[in-house]
A and B are shown apart, each in its own frame.
Chain A
Amino acid sequence: MTHSVSMTVNGKSVSGEVESRTLLVQFLREHLRLTGTHVGCDTSQCGACVVHKDGQSIKSCTILAAQCDGADVTTIEGLADGDTLHPMQEAFRENHGLQCGFCTPGMVMSALDLVKNNPDPSEKEIREWLEGNICRCTGYHNIVKSIKAGAGSMR
């Protein structure tokens, strides 16, 4: 079965026809060509697909596009202001918070949800918050450092 969906993605109104089984992440990547949101697993565990929906971080691989009709979605592409990176993106760049970069969009989107409610998170709080974001490269150390720095420059 197909559904017409309309939503706001990174501030722009978008719409499309999706199957019932189309996941939000497929809609973002395949229909809108916003390929910054990644898919790293099929078990809802890795967090590479994290986006914000109506102000909350969620795994876009575990929600149907049809469920997001009318939603307000922000992806990694929605953060930078032209060529100026968002302070959290800049902090990842400055602090070597990525190696291959596959997990990074999810890390950044997840970090922003943490900082929204907790503007000055401790290292422990950051590590606990990243429970649902898996990185195969960095060993997390510099990701935690980046988020601390990013939170600092956002305050």
Chain B
Amino acid sequence: MYDFTYQRAVSVDDAAAKVEGADDAMLMAGGMTLLPTLKQRLAQPSDVVDLSGISGLAGISVEGDKVVVGAMTTHATVAASADVKSKIPALADLADGIGDPQVRNRGTIGGSIANNDPAADYPSACVGLGATIVTNQREIAADDFFTGLFETALDDGEVVTAVKFPTPSKAAYMKFPNPASRYAIVGVFVAQGSDGVRVAVTGAGQDGVFRASEMESALASNFSADAVANISVPEGDLNYDIHASSEYRAHLVTVMAKRAVNKAG
């Protein structure tokens, strides 16, 4: 690992100021993606600004019909939260399936969505539930937040502070995990809420998470696995790698969508 200057932020403003004041700083949340990246010398920040000492960034609250998850909330905390389990069990389920227990003890929702790995789980929940990403500067609709492979709408030094999830009437997440890492080869998040049905697919798209609009309209008129059974997403837009071809991923999207619809009930 190249050396850097470790700095501990005491507030969100302090974190933003530390990033601003450094040559080329990176924020650190759980470090479960950042530290392996640094170990492999794939990045060389001048400074690493640790968000873990900021009080108030971790925790879950229910505000009206929304579940608000602080950016520094770990996957383990989301998975175990009574509020999340009762309001959005699909979200607790998703968090419980991320990586392994030690990754879940450290990894955070803020870090996961800021990183926007095309195979990460949380982006599908954010888009599938029509969540709002709250930063120190503004609120961004999930549909506008994930802009491409490892790309988001975040500006330099912009800090995610929370994610607001509307409570759906029903929702479920199904993933076909990579057996080694547990990242999604394909993951499908299906939700029915006040703004209709959403189907968000992760793991498969070349540009990361996307909405399967044909499935959404079919489910809007008939919320059943049969409604999506004959709908497939275009293979040409899908990833292929040593784990799965685009053809296989396209097939999995339909299978996972059917299973998610069944599970949502």
Query: What residues make up the interface of A, taking CB atoms closer than 8 Å to B?
Result: 1, 3, 19-21, 23, 42-45, 47, 50, 56-59, 62-64, 66-67, 110, 113-114, 129, 131-133
Most buried by A among B4, B32, B39, B180: B39
Q: Which of A20, A63, A131 contacts B5 (CB 8 A)?
A: A20
Check if B103 is an interface residue, CB within 8 A of chain A.
yes
Chain A residues near B2 (CB, 8 Å)?
A: 21
Most buried by A among B4, B40, B52, B101: B101
Interchain CB contact under 8 A, A62 and B101? no
Interchain CB contact under 8 A, B31 and A64? yes
Bound-state CA distance A133–B99 (Å) is: 11
Interchain CB contact under 8 A, B6 and A20? yes
Query: Considering only CB atoms, which chain B residue lies closest to A1 in the complex?
Result: B5
Chain B residues near A132 (CB, 8 Å)?
A: 99-103
Looking at the assembled complex, report how far the CB atom of A88 sits from the nearest CB atom of chain B, in whole angstroms: 16
Q: Mind listing 10 A-B residue pairs with CB under 8 Å?
A: A45-B180, A45-B181, A47-B102, A59-B103, A62-B106, A67-B52, A113-B101, A114-B101, A131-B101, A132-B99
Interchain CB contact under 8 A, A20 and B48? yes
Chain A residues near B103 (CB, 8 Å)?
A: 44, 59, 132
Q: A20-B3, A62-B35 are known contacts. Are A57 and B102 too (CB-CB below 8 A)?
A: yes
Interchain CB contact under 8 A, B105 and A3? no
Interchain CB contact under 8 A, A110 and B102? yes
Interchain CB contact under 8 A, A131 and B100? yes
Query: Considering only CB atoms, which chain B residue lies closest to A130 in the complex?
Result: B100
Bound-state CA distance A131–B213 (Å) is: 34
Looking at the assembled complex, report how far the CB atom of B86 sits from the nearest CB atom of chain A, in whole angstroms: 20
Bound-state CA distance A133–B103 (Å) is: 11
Bound-state CA distance A58–B6 (Å) is: 20
Query: What residues make up the interface of B, taking CB atoms closer than 8 Å to A?
Result: 1-6, 8, 31-32, 35-36, 38-40, 48, 50, 52, 76, 99-103, 105-106, 180-182
Q: A63-B106, A64-B6, A131-B182 are known contacts. Are A21 and B99 too (CB-CB below 8 A)?
A: no
Interchain CB contact under 8 A, A62 and B99? no
Chain A residues near B5 (CB, 8 Å)?
A: 1, 20
Looking at the assembled complex, report how far the CB atom of B23 sits from the nearest CB atom of chain A, in whole angstroms: 13
Most buried by A among B2, B35, B50, B180: B35
Chain B residues near A50 (CB, 8 Å)?
A: 102
Interchain CB contact under 8 A, A58 and B3? no
Contacts A20-B5, A58-B102, A59-B106 known; list 20 others, CB within 8 Å. Answer: A3-B6, A20-B4, A20-B6, A21-B3, A23-B35, A42-B39, A56-B76, A57-B105, A58-B106, A63-B31, A64-B6, A64-B48, A67-B6, A67-B8, A67-B31, A67-B52, A110-B101, A129-B101, A131-B99, A132-B99
Bound-state CA distance A42–B38 (Å) is: 10
Interchain CB contact under 8 A, B32 and A1? no
Looking at the assembled complex, report how far the CB atom of B231 sits from the nearest CB atom of chain A, in whole angstroms: 32
Query: Considering only CB atoms, which chain B residue lies closest to A18 in the complex?
Result: B6
Bound-state CA distance A129–B99 (Å) is: 10
Chain B residues near A57 (CB, 8 Å)?
A: 101-102, 105
Chain A residues near B35 (CB, 8 Å)?
A: 23, 44, 62-64
Interchain CB contact under 8 A, B6 and A59? no
Bound-state CA distance A3–B48 (Å) is: 14
Bound-state CA distance A46–B110 (Å) is: 24
Bound-state CA distance A91–B2 (Å) is: 41
Bound-state CA distance A66–B31 (Å) is: 13
Bound-state CA distance A113–B52 (Å) is: 22
Most buried by A among B1, B2, B181: B1
Looking at the assembled complex, report how far the CB atom of A92 sits from the nearest CB atom of chain B, in whole angstroms: 19
Q: A20-B5, A63-B31, A132-B99 are known contacts. Are A56 and B105 too (CB-CB below 8 A)?
A: yes
Bound-state CA distance A73–B101 (Å) is: 17
Interchain CB contact under 8 A, A47 and B36? no
Bound-state CA distance A113–B76 (Å) is: 13
Chain B residues near A3 (CB, 8 Å)?
A: 6
